[in-house]
Amino acid sequence: MVEQASALLNQTNRERFAAAQAMLEKALAEDPDNVDLGAALAALQLRGIQMVWYTPEQSAAAENKARATLERATRARPDSVPVGEAYCRFLNATNYFVESLVACARTLSFDPWNGLVLYHIGLARVQLARFEEALATFRLADRYDTPQVSRWTWLLGAGMTLMLMDRSEEALPWLQRSLAITPGSGRTYMLLSAVYEQLGRPDEARTAMAKGIALRPGSNLSNTALPPKNASPIFIAASEWIGGRILRPGCRNADRPRPVYVRQVSRLWPMRAPHAHYRTLKSVWLSAS
């Protein structure tokens, strides 16, 4: 049953997500003590949260349900890879990055070639502004290339990290490979649009943005970006820099306050990625704290 639900998500979109969730919920209702089914459902719900496929109310309920399910599962099966993988994903999705790195490392000790766990380690490192380490982690996952059902995730992660590092030309093939596998991710198209914009290819940027918005109606700069909770100010500022490239091809902006250090970074380097000025950015953030 878990494999069938995963297969539905190989070409990720909202309809397949709903079908996979219904399948797992039905199976869990018939076998409520099945830890693997519970972990699989929790991991699926977290994907729905990350892809913004729930309403805000549904998202909060899904997070609480996933937390309760995974806490029971980790007590019952502390050495289970599926449980550890789901808990690793949960901590990452709820922005507990340091805790996520610990949980993911423990799971990786049982399954060192698990690309999905490596993806979550990379994602946590990205949001802690450990960009070089994150990129190395995504490349390692790509080298292991397992499980294949999750291949698009580390390709996206590598492309995003390279963009944060102002290496757009290198980011492009990673994002294209990710979309070739899973064309249902609007966020990936929006990031691709930013890459095209940075490379001076505005027509392709607008086309990619149109595809992203079609997949995620109502998208704006705020609900497309990763949540800033517990993230490094370096990552937040670099994300804001990417956000400027996402706006130009047609993504809407959302009215929200910008942190003072981000405003100062924008004035200092309007055309450069903050990653290229790490030491100066750090001093700006500290002075604004």
Answer whether residue 191 shows pLDDT above 50.
Answer: yes
pLDDT band at 35 (very low <50, low <70, confident <90, very high): confident
Count the alpha carbons within 13 Å of 185 in the hemisphere toward its beta carbon: 29
Average pLDDT over residues 61-75: 88
Q: What is the percent of the chain with per-residue pLDDT over 90, rounded to a whole number? A: 43
Q: Give whole-number Cα distances, 45 to 13, 39, 51, 73, in Å.
A: 14, 10, 10, 15
279 alpha carbon, distance to own chain's centre: 26
Which residue is listed with tokens 């990452």?
Answer: 92
Distance CA 258, CA 49 (A): 24
Q: Which domains does the chain have, with CATH numbers?
A: 2-288 (1.25.40.10)
Supply 102's token pair: 């610990």
pLDDT tens for each residue of 200-211:
999 999 999 999
**Predicted structure pTM score:** 0.78
